[in-house]
Amino acid sequence: MAKGKVDYGVYLVTDSTPAILGNKDLTSVVEAALQGGVTIVQYRDKLSDRETAVKTARALHEVTRRFGVPLLVNDRVDVAVEVGCEGVHIGQDDMAYEEARKLLGPDKIIGVTASSIQEALKACEAGADYLGLGTVYATSTKKDTKSIIGPAGIRSILLGLSSAGHSIPTVCIGGINGSNATSVLAESSAAPAKSLDGIAVVSAIVAAVDPAAAARDLLGKVVAGRVPDVIKAVAATTPLSHNMTNLVVQNFAANVALAVGGSPIMANYAEEAADLAKLGGALVINMGTVTPEGLKNHIQALQAYNAAGGPVVLDPVGAGATSIRRNAVKTLLSSGKFTVIKGNEGEIQTVYGASVTQRGVDSASSLTIPQRASLAKAVARSTGAVVVLTGTTDVVSDGVRTLRVDNGHEFLGRVTGTGCTLGTTISVMEAAFRSDPLFAAVAGMVLFEIAAERAAVRDDVRGPGTFVPAFIDELSAVRTETVKGDVAWLAKAKIE
Ligand code: 3NM
């Protein structure tokens, strides 16, 4: 597991004391939390003897490895060395960073606790891989905390780090739970400082009646918390959205790309792709109205963007409708790599290789939400892409993290081209925010769907016809509000 690839989003710290764990089994709680979406685990045990600690750490490591998630050990470096897990977390009163690094070697993760900018800078300069910032709020889980710094204290450390030029990952800890996570993330990460990379919790998951549900809820909040970062990254770069799309949506897609902050070009001729791929944008390959000539163009452009390292969004429109389209999907998937594959249930089933028959491009749903989540996850794993499976409840997965997005409005289903323009919206986000394609995709989805909700209830909207211009207005308004720092609209986001 490469150190640079670690996802600090939902960071579970364990506690085996009966007051928090109750009579549950720690390994089972960690496994459930991983199913819910925990992205990194720290085994923290101040009481057990060495033999018990090694045994517990080994059992936890077996579980975390199955999920491809790193396991760190709190303080007890010798236990981490013996178990061979991915690293340690050390507090200010624990072993010195340099000594821990000597024992662990250069490839292991070492995180350090910091309560002030001085401690944070010292840890950065020593070479720490991430910082745990706290204590945010007083918590009965750790009674000996020295300073309660609140979200404002976290924000000032983040500001200090960014003005010193450090981009080290950070999480905050202390009293974080499902009720305050959204406001802690927003208040801690207020512009212009770098944002927190995640939240670390003990009791919000370990003491929860349903640790998987608690973890899922926190993951949704962490992902929602990054939406403004994505939209601001778009505003900072106005990225190119190169659309190779169908005849029906050319104009609508170009207008949506503009409204969400992108710079659209509708260019179906692949000879242009090599030049366009150098402009730092993203490509949308939309298979609607496919022709043999079109497919050749798609393959050539896909390969040009792959060579330039630019994101590519595949929209396999009507993929299951005809054998021509089913074969076109297969050909495209074997010709290059996609960053995002977006489609409805029939389309994603076709990408999966299932033999489904779609009537047209409209969507019919026969799977339950958990089945849709499994399908999205499986396709993400087999293709390496983020999969966006649209429907009344959308599902998005990168093969590790799987989320549901429950926003949108029925008018989106009564106007042609909205699915295609969601692909365009996502391409703009992917172009601007390369560090996490899942965050970028979710940002595109909630921006798009909440704009639709706002448009649908406007007084001047009387049906699908008047909805379209209002929708474009609202896309632009939501984006502008976000760039100005007003993210009240995000309270409507239903990400879980
Ligand atoms: N470290 P809960 S606060 C383990 O401030 C730990 O460094 C802290 O527990 C620090 O999520 C803390 O239950 C306990 O509040 C956090």
> From residue 10, how far is each of 202, 284, 494 by CA, in Å?
11, 31, 18
What distance lies between CA 195 and its chain's CA centroid?
Answer: 14
Question: Is 442 inside a domain boundary?
Answer: yes
Confidence of residue 80 (pLDDT cuts 50, 70, 90): very high
pLDDT score of 362 more than 60: no
pLDDT, one tens digit per residue, over 18-63 is 999 999 999 999 999 999 999 999 999 999 999 999 999 999 999 9
User: Do the strands 40-43 and 71-74 form a parallel or antiparallel pair, or are they unpaired?
Assistant: parallel
**Alpha carbon nearest to ligand 1 atom 5, residue:** 135
Average pLDDT for 106-121: 97
Cβ(341)–Cβ(396) under 8 Å? no
Atom of ligand 1 nearest to the CA of 142: 14
Nearest alpha-carbon partner for 271 in 301, 308, 303, 305: 301
Alpha-carbon span 178 to 202, nearest angstrom: 12
Atom 4 in ligand 1: residue holding the nearest Cα: 142
Same domain, 289 and 417: yes
Domain count, the chain: 2
Confidence of residue 408 (pLDDT cuts 50, 70, 90): very high
For residue 131, the CA-to-ligand 1 centroid distance in Å is: 13
Helix (H) / strand (E) element for 40: namely strand 40-43
What average pLDDT does the segment 240-267 reach?
96
Q: Which residues contact 227 (CB under 8 A, 6 or more apart)?
A: 439, 442, 443, 446, 447, 482, 487, 490, 493
Please tell me if the CB atom of residue 285 comes closer than 6 angstroms to any atom of ligand 1.
Answer: no
**Substitution candidate for ligand 1 out of 10, 11, 13, 119 with most atoms within 8 A of CB:** 13
Cα–Cα distance measured from residue 35 to residue 65, given in angstroms and rounded to the nearest whole number: 13
Q: Is the CB of 13 under 6 A from ligand 1?
A: yes
Candidates 278, 301, 299; CA nearest to 431 is: 278
CB 19 within 8 A of CB 49: no
Q: Separation of 202 CA from ligand 1 center, angstroms?
A: 7
How large is the average pLDDT for residues 1-7? Answer: 79
Residue 430 lies in domain: 233-492
**Most ligand 1 atoms within 8 A of CB, residue of 40, 41, 173 to mutate:** 173
* pLDDT at residue number 3: 79
- What is the share, in percent, of the chain residues with pLDDT greater than 90? 88
Residues 452-473: what's their mean pLDDT? 98
CATH number at residue 147: 3.20.20.70
Same domain, 311 and 343: yes
Q: Are residues 188 and 320 in the same domain?
A: no
Q: Which of 116, 145, 205 to mutate to test the pocket of ligand 1 (most atoms within 8 A of CB)?
A: 145
pLDDT at 415 over 90: yes
- Give the CA count within 13 Å in the CB-facing half-sphere of 422: 31
CB 251 within 8 A of CB 282: no
**Residue 412 has what DSSP assignment?**
G
User: Is 224 within the bounds of a domain?
Assistant: no
State the pLDDT at residue 190: 76
Are residues 125 and 37 both part of a single domain? yes
Same domain as 319, residue 420:
yes
% of the chain with per-residue pLDDT over 70: 97
* Cα–Cα distance for residue pair 410/452, rounded to 1 Å: 9
Tell me: pLDDT of 1 over 70: no
Q: Terminus-to-terminus CA distance in the chain, angstroms?
A: 26
Buried b (16+ CB within 10 A) or exposed e, 257-277: bbbbbbbbbbbbebebbeebb
Res 363: pLDDT: 56
Do 247 and 367 fall within a single domain? yes
Give the residue from 174, 209, 244 where a domain finishes.
Answer: 209
CATH number of the domain at 286, please: 3.40.1190.20
Q: Assess if residue 225 is contained within a domain.
A: no
pLDDT in the model for residue 288: 86
Structure tokens at 234: 């778009």
- pLDDT at residue 358 in the model: 59
pLDDT one-digit tens code per residue, 272-314: 999 999 999 999 999 987 899 999 999 999 999 999 999 999 9
Q: Would residue 194 count as lying in a domain? A: yes
Q: Closest by alpha carbon to 197, among 217, 171, 174, 221?
A: 171
Neighbours of 209 (CB within 10 A): 8
Q: How far apart are CA 331 and CA 338, in angstroms?
A: 13
Is there a domain that residue 216 lies in?
no
Q: Are 263 and 238 in contact (CB under 8 A)?
A: yes
pLDDT at site 356: 64
Q: Are strands 40-43 and 87-90 parallel, antiparallel or unpaired?
A: unpaired
The dihedral through the CA atoms of 88, 93, 94, 96 has a sign that is positive
Token pair for 70: 């790193």
**pLDDT at res. 145:** 82
**What's the mean per-residue pLDDT of the chain?**
94
Q: Let me know if residue 217 belongs to a domain.
A: no
Which helix H or strand E contains 429, and what residues bound it? Answer: helix 418-432
- Domain check: are 36 and 78 in the same one? yes
Give me the mean pLDDT over the 382-408 stretch. Answer: 95
| Region 124-145 average pLDDT | 93
ipTM over 0.90: yes
Do residues 187 and 269 both lie within one domain? no
Q: With left for phi above 0 and alpha for psi between -120 and 50, is residue 22 left, alpha or beta?
A: left
Ligand 1 pocket member 74 (CB < 6 A) = no
Q: Are 438 and 223 in contact (CB under 8 A)?
A: yes
Same domain membership, residue 258 and residue 178: no
Q: Is 148 helix (H, G, I), strand (E, B) or coil?
A: coil
Q: Is 420 an active-site residue?
A: yes
Nearest to 340 by CA among 258, 397, 255, 264: 397
How far apart are the C-alpha atoms of 11 and 183, rounded to whole Å? Answer: 17
CA pair distance 431, 418, nearest whole angstrom? 20
Residue 189, C-beta contacts closer than 8 angstroms, at least 6 positions apart: 155, 158, 195, 196, 225
* Tokens (6 digits) for 471: 């929708």
Residue 16 CB–ligand 1 contact under 6 Å: no
What's the rounded mean pLDDT across residues 173-200?
89
**204 Cβ inside 6 Å of ligand 1:** yes
